Each structure stands twice: as C-alpha cells, then as structure tokens.
Amino acid sequence: MQNFAVLASGRGGNLQAIINAVKSKKIKANLKVVVSDKADAFALKRAKKARIASIYVAPKDYTDRQSFDCKVLECLREYKIDFVVLAGYMRLLSAHFIRQYPNKIINIHPALLPSFKGINGIRDALEYGVKITGVSVHFVNEEMDAGTIIAQETVKITSKDTLKSLAQKIHKVEHKLYPEVIGWFAQKRLKVIGRKTVLR
Ligand code: GRF
C-alpha cells in the first residue's frame, strides 16, 4: 500500500472524512502524517486523536517559501510518502515541492474550476449570482487552482442560500467526493493524458 500525507491549515473537516475513509478501508493507503503551517489548526488535533503523526512547521522560522517547503519535504521523506493530499492548506507550494511529486499532489477546491479560483470560492460564487456551483478535485501544478481536474460535483444555489447554508452544502459534497477520489488514486485508477484525467 502507498503512504500518503495530508497538509492542512484549518478546521480539518476534509481531513476527518479522509481519516474515516482510511479506517473503513474505502481508501486503501496509509495516512502516515499530517503537516500544518498553523500551530493551532484543529486538523492537528484530529490527527492526534486518530493517533496519526502530526507535525507543525512554523513559517516564521524560514526566510522564503522554498526553504519552508524543504522542511515539509524532509518530513515527507521521513515517512516515505508516496503522494500528498492538500485539505484546506492555505499556502502555495513552491515549484521545487511540486517537482518532487509530479501528478501526486491532490487538492480540493470549493467551486467548479476554472471558475472562482482562490481562497473565497464559496463566497465568490454566491456573490456572483451563479445558480450552480460545486466542488472540484484536481492535481496540483505550479499555477494556483489550475491543475488537471480529476472530478467535479455540482451544488445548486437557491435564492434562500446564505454563505453559511451554501458552505454547509459544499462541505457535505466535499466530504463524500474527496475520500472517493483519493481511493481511486490509491488504487492507481487515475491516468493523466494532457489536460484530462481518466478513471480506469
Ligand atoms: C474546504 O472547503 C476546501 O475545499 C478548501 O478549504 C476548505 C477546508 O476545510 N480548500 P476543512 O479544513 O477541510 O474543513
């Protein structure tokens, strides 16, 4: 089985869904370590509770993005990590990091890419007035939220939706879709052909 790491900066709702899916063997891979750039990330608490190694790397100890990423890469090497899952990780990865894991870093975005990239995907879609938004899971490349798309699912926006209600709907879809996609990846069912990902 392959080893993987989750990088998270926040609440860790997706991390929890992933932990549960590993436990129930929906994801057939070992979640070896959770790394965070935030000391107080609730994601770290979730990892500890599940007895998964958790590491905080303090950005202030590093002069630039690449040296910070080198420390994270060192942690990943220590745990013999084969692939990396970003779950609410609020930092852009350096080109150096991405080159170490080509098509082996997965991210989830709370909108239908290529629309509403960036950190406020849910709010931006709501404010724009689209009637359909959703969730995208994609490979990470050097451009933000622009890697090959693996899977997408739609979420309807109604006139009654608030940021809170829409966020709830999005997170519900995320927590189902992300473990499923990671499961496909772990079983080597994903093949990237140009801009397209094919599920075998
Ligand atoms: C999710 O909405 C995810 O799509 C985005 O950041 C959020 C993280 O939430 N990248 P959580 O920490 O997994 O609860």
Model pLDDT for residues 60-113, shown as the tens digit of each residue: 999 999 999 999 999 999 999 999 999 999 999 999 999 999 999 999 999 999
CATH topology of domain 3-199: Rossmann fold (3.40.50)
Which atom of ligand 1 lies nearest, measured to the CA of 42? 12
Output the CA 104–ligand 1 centroid distance in Å.
19
Ligand 1 pocket: which residues have CB below 6 Å? 8, 10-15, 87-88, 108-110, 174
CB-CB neighbours of 177 under 10 Å: 21
Whether 56 and 38 have beta carbons less than 8 Å apart is answered as: yes
pLDDT band at 17 (very low <50, low <70, confident <90, very high): very high
Which tokens in the block code for residue 138?
């994609």
**Cα 33 to Cα 12: distance, rounded to the nearest angstrom:** 14
Which pLDDT does position 82 carry in this prediction?
98
CB-CB neighbours of 107 under 10 Å: 23
Which atom of ligand 1 lies nearest, measured to the CA of 11? 12
Q: Which of 155, 171, 172, 178 to mutate to test the pocket of ligand 1 (most atoms within 8 A of CB)?
A: 171
Alpha helices in 57-142 (DSSP H): 65-78, 95-100, 121-128
pLDDT band at 160 (very low <50, low <70, confident <90, very high): very high
* Residue with token string 């075998």: 200
Mean pLDDT value across residues 154-158: 98
Q: Which positions are catalytic?
A: 109
Whether 11 and 43 have beta carbons less than 8 Å apart is answered as: yes
Which tokens in the block code for residue 91?
């930092």
Which pLDDT does position 200 carry in this prediction?
95
- pLDDT, one tens digit per residue, over 34-50 is 999 999 999 999 999 99
The angle at the Cα of 90, spanning 88 to 92, to the nearest 5 degrees, equals 120
Which pLDDT does position 83 carry in this prediction?
98
Say which residues have a Cβ less than 8 Å from residue 118's Cβ, sequence separation at least 6: 124, 144, 145
Output the CA 32–ligand 1 centroid distance in Å.
20
Which pLDDT does position 157 carry in this prediction?
98
The pLDDT mean for the chain works out to: 97
Domain boundaries, given as residue ranges, for the chain = 3-199
